[in-house]
Amino acid sequence: MKLKLLLPITFIMMNLQVFAQNDPPESPKLIEVASFDHYQPIGTAITKSGRIFVTFPRNKIYEYGVAEITNGQKKPYPDAEWNRYDSLQAANRFMNAQAVW
């Protein structure tokens, strides 16, 4: 007789525990921090301090190989000189940056 009572009580207690659990926390929302129109970014990185970096391939439409995103705007990183394509200065230029980390 006790076993017949114990099983339903156990079942009810287990179900109450499941229903009492809180909903899982919401996933973080995606936030657009920049858009690039006709430029095609291929690599992205975010530092621990929140700095955002993007790489771009050297295509027909080329501006920078590596850029830092600040206030939604891209600016050459570390400077415009490093991002200026010049095959004769390859040791001091980003020729076709693929990734950053």
What is the domain extent for residue 59? 43-92
Residue 56 lies in a domain: yes
Number of domains the chain contains? 1
CA distance linking residue 68 with residue 79, whole number of Å: 10
Residue 17 lies in a domain: no
Residue 69 lies in a domain: yes
* Ranges of residues in the chain whose predicted pLDDT is under 70: 1-8, 11, 13-24
pTM: 0.67
What is the model's pLDDT at position 95? 82
CA distance linking residue 45 with residue 98, whole number of Å: 12
